Structure 1
Amino acid sequence: MTSLLRRIAAILILTGFAATARADQMDLTAAARSVVRVALVASNGAQAYFVGHGSGLVVAPDKVLTNAHVVELARDEKDIVIGIVPSEGKKSYGGRIIAYSPGNDLALIQMEDGRLPPGSFYAGAIADGQHVTAIGYPGTVDRAQGLGLKDMVEPMIAVKTGGNISSGRSGKAFDTLLHTAPLASGNSGGPLVDDCGRVLGLNSFGSISDGNDAEFGFAVSNREIASFLRQAGVTFLRTSAPCRSLADIDEAEAQRVAALAAKQDAATRASSEAQAAALAKAREAAEQDIIAARENMMALAAVLLALAVLAAGAAGLNYTQGKQKPTLWFGIGGGALLVGALAIFLLRPSFSGIEDRVARTGVESGAVTTIQTIGYDATGDNLCRIDEGRSRITVSPTTDVPLNWTATGCANGKRQYRREGEEWIEVASAPDDAAITVTRFDPATGALRSERYLVDADTLERARAIRARTDAGACTSDASALAGLARMQNDLRALLPLQPNERLVYQCGKGIAAP
């Protein structure tokens, strides 16, 4: 067991360091899928012409957050319509303003059709000087590429620019974050994110420069955004988990496994030493017991021998006196005493019985013990709680997860897991989740680990097509259905990138979720 833990620790360290360079870019790519172009298009009946554009952030599958000044013209001019252009896919969508707050430069757009993956906000403290990335659609890039109206209303990847937080200064009208990520006209309404892709604010305006000064950007803070969205009745994703790379998580896990192996080594040594001490004590006691028993039996044999001699003497004396009956009885008694003395001498305990007595004493007293792991029985209702120290959290909530488990791998009465070694595995791609999720559960320990891959729209479409080819998601014990489940899971895993964006580690215990 200990050698296995050491091998696991070594693997975790190697894989962790190998993945360090890729983690941030994968998160930023995933975050950019929640960023849209907010296009304003006017029509005079026969012709449509481009009025302007900004950026926006998907905060719910059918709602987009942007700056108030980006959509201001659409409120005043009835001929201007709002277009929501996602970063990927093949379609753009219409939108209408449902909340407007020029006081803190925020507006909320209801999409008329379609659903897009929402971004997640960071609710923790922001450090001065930390690296940030602005994501959006700067017009300078569009012009440099010579994009026309047709290009502006077709899905296109957003532009990412990096900088740092410069805290201590905020806008006078509303709470803002000052940063150095380059912005241009068109970035307005796009998010400012950390290295894990969590939203820190919404870019609103930049500093004015004559070309010789450094440029700064101002982003509407999450405090302003949270208040605005709550008043609009929007439930949004947020997390306060620190931004940690998978390399950091893997290194910490390797250290945890190594510490566990060392603890088990120490416990094994302590158990061996305790067992050896108990055996030595039992052996000493057995030796003393056998010596005492031998001495007692030899003393008893000597007494019986002496009595036998006396009986023989009495028999001889009575014989000389012609007393036949007493002679007979003393002769028989003396013979019996002699036989008894001889038998007791021969049956005295042997030193060769010490080990047998040590073994019996050790088992009966409990002195000889072994370390045993008490297995967890996951059958029935379980409540799984997140272990944030072992998790990498970017967009997912950290609420408790109820899990009703059966011995055949059925979870919550509707999701079938497949056995893989000591664990059970599920690979899923839900319709409303922009991710492929690989979940592993060990019913013997209650350990649940979910790894989420925030893949692009094309990969999601292929994953859902694979899922649609089989009904393997339903609980079953049928061999052919389980074989189909295995094929489906292998096909889904073939689509996965090198590493996940999130790793959620839970520890399950007996219980049910509160109503």
Structure 2
Amino acid sequence: MLLFSGLLAQLAHADPADISAASRSVVRVVIIESDGDRANLITHGTGFAVTPNLIVTNAHVVEQLRDDDTLIAGVVPAEGRNGYPARLVAYSPGNDLALLRIEGGGTLTPITLFPGAPDDGAEVYAVGYPGNVDLAQGLSMGDLVTPQAAVKTRGYLSGGRSSRSFDTLLHTAPLGAGNSGGPLLDACGRVLGVNSFGTVSDNGTDSAFYFAISMRELSAFLRRANVDARNSGLPCRSIADLDRAEAARAAGDQARQAAAAEAQAQSRQRAADKARRDAEMAVLSERDNGLALAALLLVGALGAGGWAMVQASKRRGRFQRKHVIGAAALLLAAVITWFLRPSLDSIDRRARELQEQPAPASSESTAPTEQTADAGAMICVLDPQRSRVTVSDITDVTLDWTQDGCVNGKSQYGLAQDGWSRVLVPGEEEAISLNTFDPATRTYTVERFLVGLDVMTKARAERARLGAPACGAGEEAARKFGENQQAIKALLPPEPNERMRYNCQTAP
């Protein structure tokens, strides 16, 4: 049960789009004999591009080139109109590796190598040109030197077993004669090894186990040949995994925001309750004080009046003016004090005034101040937990963003319902990039689509019709540009092959 669960977890990472993208770098290697008037196909195998003009294959595929100067080597890509002549530049029969250089200016999209150790039981793909498939299709020699899609098979690694001659990987992805020299890929389309040979049973028939030359052998071979190949050692994560993680992250953010809003509402309610209690206590205290003062003044007025009457009786009923004025003044003061007491209705007003008073600044606060997204140059650093990188180099990105969508003072981004974006369709590389920037979160995202030649041709045609406005052209121009870019976005597959998310901070 545990093995089955582990297998399901591995299968969840497999992305056919990555295998198809890697297949663009796989070629048929042909050895042709020519007498000037006609050409004969001597043999063929498979290879893959490690630079735009260097092809890795098996030494046994091209060994006849070393013994016969009349033979011609050629590489036939999976896409395009024709193949290219090639020249043998490195040969290592000890580990069955060879290197061809494309002649005549032809170039291919390089494949990516995985420098790490693959896991036992990992899912793998073999890509190449098995001759039994060609035979079943009834292909002629002309067909074999015409660009065709490579054949893909799937299997699993069996760790711990290797040939004694050189370091190899044992796997179960089916191979046929003609697959020799082709890549063994992981689920992200990165090269784990070079397919070389299969096991043979006692009766001489092929069995279901095959060997690929390991990356340890291939890396050493390429170093000796001074070849700087593209490598990527990051974990293989699927876009679906990232989408689920992003959904969980968004749900967590929403939950935290809701909790923060609830806490803030409770804090406001506590502040309001406290303000009302304080206001109520203050008003009641002032009323009690006013009542006491009014009573005291009234007692004083009565005392003054009584004293005036005593004095008047001594003077035969004549009141002195000062006694009358004093008693009247005290009585008036008592009445005024009574009426000047705050009313109970003033409690609500006092509570509002207390709530509106600014809170004292805390000297211990360490909360960062909010940054504006147009604060000049920013350094954007890749977030590996939110990224899937299979073929691209990982470097920091310098981004100078302005509020009108201008990047680095020269590239205007388009504004649409999905935010600010710029679609890049290069003239040489077989990949389309969708670059987006979210000013609110300072998140810069690059999604790369490793598409086929047909999609690239259509995208380049759309890009030629699409005029990007200059920086500072205004919001209307940015929105128009964002709308026009939808024609290219509509050509893209549902999911990218790569997604690189960068967190951006103001540059020091």
Normalising by structure 2, what TM-score? 0.88
Alpha-carbon distance in 1 for matches of 2:172, 2:49? 24
Q: Which amino acid aligns with 1:296?
A: N
8 Å Cα contact 1:314/1:327 also seen in 2: no
Residues 1:86 and 2:77 are matched in the alignment: yes
8 Å Cα contact 1:38/1:55 also seen in 2: yes
- Equivalent position of 1:57 in the other structure: 48
SS at match of 1:351: coil
- Equivalent position of 2:4 in the other structure: none
SS at match of 1:345: helix
Aligned partner (choices 108, 125, 135) of residue 127 of structure 2:
135
**Higher RCO structure (Cα 8 Å, ≥6 apart):** 1
8 Å Cα contact 1:23/1:501 also seen in 2: no
Alpha-carbon distance in 1 for matches of 2:484, 2:358? 55
Change (3 A) 1:212 1:37: closer
Alpha-carbon distance in 2 for matches of 1:327, 1:422? 92
CA distances 1:83-126 after superposition (whole Å, capped 9, x unpaired): 12110111211222333333322222222222222211223441
Alpha-carbon distance in 2 for matches of 1:473, 1:77? 58
* 1:124-203 alignment, distance < 5 Å: 124-203=116-195
- Equivalent position of 1:69 in the other structure: 60
Residues 1:29 and 2:30 are matched in the alignment: no
- Equivalent position of 2:333 in the other structure: 340
Change (3 A) 1:430 1:379: farther
- Equivalent position of 1:17 in the other structure: none
- Equivalent position of 1:107 in the other structure: 98
Alpha-carbon distance in 1 for matches of 2:106, 2:318? 124
- Equivalent position of 2:355 in the other structure: 362
* 1:216-235 alignment, distance < 5 Å: 216-235=209-228
SS at match of 1:496: coil
- Equivalent position of 1:398 in the other structure: 394
Aligned partner (choices 398, 405, 411) of residue 409 of structure 1:
405
Alpha-carbon distance in 1 for matches of 2:170, 2:12? 27
Alpha-carbon distance in 2 for matches of 1:140, 1:313? 133
Residues 1:47 and 2:43 are matched in the alignment: no
Alpha-carbon distance in 2 for matches of 1:226, 1:332? 114
Alpha-carbon distance in 2 for matches of 1:45, 1:178? 43
Q: Which amino acid aligns with 2:113?
A: F
* 1:188-337 alignment, distance < 5 Å: 188-209=180-201, 210-211=203-204, 214-320=207-313, 327-337=320-330
225-234 vs 432-441, greater mean Cα deviation: 225-234
Q: Which amino acid aligns with 1:451?
A: E
Change (3 A) 1:261 1:26: same
8 Å Cα contact 2:443/2:503 also seen in 1: yes
Change (3 A) 1:189 1:331: same
Residue segments in structure 1 that go unaligned for 5+ positions in a row: 1-19
Alpha-carbon distance in 1 for matches of 2:441, 2:292? 61
Alpha-carbon distance in 1 for matches of 2:336, 2:187? 90
Q: Which amino acid aligns with 2:30?
A: A
Alpha-carbon distance in 1 for matches of 2:176, 2:492? 35
Change (3 A) 1:473 1:202: farther
SS at match of 1:346: helix
User: Deviation at 1:481?
Assistant: 5.3
CA distances 1:261-291 after superposition (whole Å, capped 9, x unpaired): 2222222222222332332233222222222
Normalising by structure 1, what TM-score? 0.87
SS at match of 1:74: helix
Residue segments in structure 2 that go unaligned for 5+ positions in a row: 1-10, 361-366
Residues 1:495 and 2:491 are matched in the alignment: yes
- Equivalent position of 1:6 in the other structure: none
- Equivalent position of 2:7 in the other structure: none
Change (3 A) 1:23 1:501: farther
Aligned partner (choices 458, 468, 480) of residue 472 of structure 1:
468
8 Å Cα contact 1:23/1:246 also seen in 2: no
User: Deviation at 1:471?
Assistant: 3.6
User: Deviation at 1:212?
Assistant: 5.7
User: Deviation at 1:37?
Assistant: 0.9
Q: Which amino acid aligns with 2:141?
A: L
Change (3 A) 1:334 1:100: farther
SS at match of 1:362: helix
Change (3 A) 1:323 1:109: farther
Alpha-carbon distance in 1 for matches of 2:242, 2:185? 21
278-287 vs 129-138, greater mean Cα deviation: 278-287
Please provide the CA RMSD for this pair: 2.8
Change (3 A) 1:401 1:164: same
CA distances 1:350-387 after superposition (whole Å, capped 9, x unpaired): 222222222332332649xxx99946524311122222
User: Deviation at 1:462?
Assistant: 1.7
Alpha-carbon distance in 2 for matches of 1:303, 1:422? 75
Change (3 A) 1:244 1:390: same
**Aligned residue-pair number:** 490
8 Å Cα contact 2:132/2:177 also seen in 1: yes
* 1:499-514 alignment, distance < 5 Å: 499-511=495-507
Aligned partner (choices 334, 340, 345) of residue 352 of structure 1:
345
